[in-house]
Amino acid sequence: MRKPCMAANWKMNKTTGETRAFLDEFIPLVQDVKNVDIVVAPPFTSIHAAAALLAGSHIRLSAQNLFHEEKGAYTGEISPAMLTDAGCSHVIIGHSERRQYFKETDEMLNRKVRIARKHALQVIFCIGESLEEREAGKTFEVLNREIGEGLKEVSPEGIIVAYEPIWAIGTGKTATTEQAQEAHYSIREKLAALYSNAAAQEIRILYGGSVTPDNIDALMRCADVDGALVGGASLKADSFSKIVKFNTDYKQ
């Protein structure tokens, strides 16, 4: 049975003070939740403050990005060793905003995934189609390419996939449960082809795109949805804690 995972992607939000205020409120709200992996991804500048507050808790710390080299003359970039040193166990790679605004290619993302795994960081690897691609009937082609290229020569351990249809991110438009299940099922098939059926059954596939406390239960009822990567609704402790405490009856 795959353990559900709920991950908060704060994007470019929260100062260190705001991070502390969130965690002071959030940690007690979820301290009894043992059957869900909880991951929080603050901006780089808040990682140190978050690590201090999360020490000894079961909440895991993630970065939102990293660079694909070990060290050197890469002004403004952050290495995998810096992330593990700062207390991160996870890193988000391939978010559509990175692909779109920072022109990160499949090849660059594959290098990021490989260096992250070399440093034993768990990778939340994001994939997803644009509205244009969906309307052109290219959804599965895009998902297959992003998985095939992004996870090339990467073993399945430590990989979490996040399916985030770009048209659903930050728009208030969630994929229907049918759309989500269909995409997750096809992603698992692709993972089975890339690795093995047994490995694909172990890999968690999170859904991302306007997840809220109101739609999480329906999404988690889908057989292949193993959790969520949450943007907007993860910025408030109360709403993210409600997502973390979804009705687990469906996943026992």
* Comparison of 67 and 207: residue with beta carbon closer to ligand PEP: 207
* Comparison of 4 and 79: residue with beta carbon closer to ligand PEP: 4
| Minimum CB distance to ligand PEP, residue 172 (Å) | 8
CB 204 within 8 A of CB 229: no
| Minimum CB distance to ligand PEP, residue 72 (Å) | 30
Which of these is catalytic: 68, 95, 129, 133?
A: 95
* Comparison of 183 and 195: residue with beta carbon closer to ligand PEP: 183
Q: Please report, as ranges, the residues that interact with ligand PEP according to CB under 6 A.
A: 9, 164, 169-170, 208-211, 229-233
The residue with tokens 């047994």 is: 198
Q: What angle do CA 163, 166, 167 make, to 5 degrees?
A: 125
| Minimum CB distance to ligand PEP, residue 68 (Å) | 21
* Comparison of 80 and 208: residue with beta carbon closer to ligand PEP: 208
Tokens coding 27: 């940690």
Cα gap 55→58, rounded to integer Å: 8
Tokens coding 160: 């979490």
| Minimum CB distance to ligand PEP, residue 234 (Å) | 7
Catalytic residue status for 95: yes
* Comparison of 17 and 170: residue with beta carbon closer to ligand PEP: 170
CB 40 within 8 A of CB 239: no
CA torsion through residues 208, 59, 11, 24, sign: positive
Tokens coding 227: 């959790």
Tokens coding 247: 């009705």
Find, among 204, 154, 227, 217, the residue nearest to 5 by Cα. Answer: 227
| Minimum CB distance to ligand PEP, residue 174 (Å) | 8
Which of these is catalytic: 68, 97, 164, 184?
A: 164
Residue nearest to ligand PEP (CB): 231
Catalytic residue status for 164: yes
Cα gap 232→11, rounded to integer Å: 9
Catalytic residues: 95, 164
